[in-house]
């Protein structure tokens, strides 16, 4: 939101200065040629700034035009929700479930409908494990500049796949790449779905992502009561995150944290 406000302020400032025109401010006469050029410049600068502002807004973790958006829950209780995006993926999903079970922890899996269809037995295993499912669209497409019916299809098809596998609980939503503008928030608002993002994402930070020690330290140092942690433990290339997971569970437990699902965390609001 700060990015958006800053960009809008810049637009207003630039448009104001250019609109007034330096010559006019300085009290000098201005040719028609220069006046037309100035208007064109205002238009181009405004379009560029609106583009920059829209880009920042489309991936904001703290602002969305409509619908409930949760980045972290305000609580005094030492609880944290671990969330895993994408998958299920053969090999890695079982490994992650086993790690969670060994630590007596539950997490929330934001799965895609397509990967569930490709790996139905893995979806069954996740459902049977008692962990929570979240909706991460059917095809993992970026849901901005798309009509609302596309958003609805992506979300509802995925929920239908979860239901067919026996998962009955309502699902929260997380959009791929955190991308959305208007139609997705409007759809989510209309259908009463909560958008869940995160306050910690260790495996997308350069200098941390490729080092399990750094990932553990980043999460251990950065966690706060009510934090939501995003990790991509089911990506083939995310071995450092998989190596870090059992150590994160140990470290946060030692720090007095309890692991809850997203819906359990939301219930504490």
CB of 182 to Zn ion, least distance (A): 21
Q: How many angstroms separate the most distant Cα atoms in the chain?
A: 79
CB of 112 to Zn ion, least distance (A): 7
CB of 111 to Zn ion, least distance (A): 10
Q: Are 110 and 174 in contact (CB under 8 A)?
A: yes
**152-166 b/e with 16+ CB inside 10 Å = b?**
ebbbebbbebbeebe
**Angle 19-54-15 from CA coordinates, rounded to 5°:** 5
CB of 90 to Zn ion, least distance (A): 17
Query: Catalytic residue among 3, 56, 85, 203, which?
Result: 85
Among 79-87, 126-134, 149-157, 179-187, which window interacts with Zn ion (CB under 5 A)? 79-87
* 72 versus 136: smaller Cβ distance to Zn ion: 136
* 67 versus 176: smaller Cβ distance to Zn ion: 176
Among 151-159, 173-181, 186-194, 259-267, which window interacts with Zn ion (CB under 5 A)? 173-181
* 139 versus 253: smaller Cβ distance to Zn ion: 139
DSSP classification of residue 128: H
Among 24-32, 47-55, 85-93, 97-105, which window interacts with Zn ion (CB under 5 A)? 85-93
Near Zn ion by CB under 5 A: residue from 67, 88, 176, 202: 176
**61-75 b/e with 16+ CB inside 10 Å = b?**
beebeebbbbbbbee
Among 7-15, 80-88, 193-201, 214-222, which window interacts with Zn ion (CB under 5 A)? 80-88
User: Residue 224 in 3-state DSSP?
Assistant: coil
CB of 86 to Zn ion, least distance (A): 4
* 52 versus 178: smaller Cβ distance to Zn ion: 178
Q: Kindly tell me the sign of the dihedral angle through the C-alpha atoms of 155, 161, 162, 163.
A: positive
Judged by CB under 5 A, how many residues of this single chain contact Zn ion? 3
Cα 100–chain centre separation: 22
Near Zn ion by CB under 5 A: residue from 64, 80, 86, 133: 86
| Whole-number Å distance between alpha carbons of 215 and 247 | 10
| 232 among known catalytic residues | yes
Query: Catalytic residue among 86, 232, 243, 250, which?
Result: 232
| Whole-number Å distance between alpha carbons of 110 and 269 | 21
Tell me which residue has tokens 């779905």.
193
CB of 198 to Zn ion, least distance (A): 12
Q: Is residue 203 part of the contact set for Zn ion (CB under 5 A)?
A: no
**Bridge partners, 258 (sequence order):** 79
Q: Are 66 and 215 in contact (CB under 8 A)?
A: no
Binding region for Zn ion (CB under 5 A): 85-86, 176
Active site residues per annotation: 85, 232
């Amino acid at each position: 939101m700060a990015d958006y406000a800053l960009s809008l302020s810049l637009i207003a400032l630039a448009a104001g200065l250019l609109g007034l025109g330096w010559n006019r401010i300085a009290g000098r006469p201005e040719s028609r040629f220069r006046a037309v050029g100035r208007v064109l410049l205002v238009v181009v600068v405004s379009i560029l700034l609106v583009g920059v502002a829209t880009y920042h807004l489309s991936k904001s973790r703290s602002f969305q035009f409509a619908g409930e958006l949760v980045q972290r829950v305000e609580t005094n209780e030492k609880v944290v929700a671990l969330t895993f995006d994408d998958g299920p993926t053969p090999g890695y999903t079982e490994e992650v479930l086993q790690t969670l079970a060994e630590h007596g922890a539950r997490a929330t899996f934001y799965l895609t409908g397509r990967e569930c269809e490709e790996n139905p037995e893995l979806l069954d295993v996740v459902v049977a494990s008692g962990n929570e499912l979240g909706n991460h669209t059917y095809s993992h497409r970026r849901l901005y500049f798309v009509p609302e019916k596309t958003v609805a299809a992506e979300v509802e098809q995925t929920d239908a796949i979860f239901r067919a596998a026996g998962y009955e609980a309502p699902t929260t939503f997380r959009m791929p790449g955190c991308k959305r503008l208007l139609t997705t928030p409007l759809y989510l608002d209309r259908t009463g779905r909560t958008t869940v993002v995160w306050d910690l994402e260790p495996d997308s930070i350069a200098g941390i992502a490729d080092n399990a020690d750094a990932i553990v330290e980043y999460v251990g140092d950065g966690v706060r009561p009510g934090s939501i942690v995003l990790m991509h433990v089911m990506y083939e290339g995310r071995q450092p995150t998989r190596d870090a997971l059992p150590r994160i569970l140990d470290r946060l437990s030692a720090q007095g944290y309890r692991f809850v699902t997203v819906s359990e965390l939301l219930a504490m609001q």
